[in-house]
Amino acid sequence: MPESSRRPIAASALAASLDALVEARIAARRRDLAAAERGEAKAPLRAIIRRMCLAHDYIHPGD
């Protein structure tokens, strides 16, 4: 397979990997938020919300 035809495949695989990573981070932040609501948070609530917003902005820029 010529290198030029492999690049789009590699780029789409990388994009899928990044999306999966961000989704995992969002899930972790949701767990952190639930823990904060129960009073069991390991991080301050403000930091948890900021991280969730950053992850959301990555997936939905300009939203």
Indicate the residue type of 3: E
Over residues 10-23, the pLDDT tens digits come to 778 777 888 888 88
- Which residue from 52, 17, 16 is spatially nearest to 34, judged by alpha carbons? 52
pLDDT for the residue 6: 61
pLDDT at residue 3 above 60? no
29 burial type by CB count under 10 A (0-12 exposed, 13-18 middle, 19+ buried): buried
b/e string for 34-61 if b means 16 or more Cβ within 10 A?
eebeeeeeeeeeeebeebbeebeeeeee
**The predicted structure's pLDDT at residue 44:** 72
- Residue 35: pLDDT above 80? yes
- List Cα–Cα distances, 19 to 5, 7, 44, in angstroms: 22, 18, 26
Report the chain's mean pLDDT, rounded to a whole number: 75
pTM flag (> 0.95): no
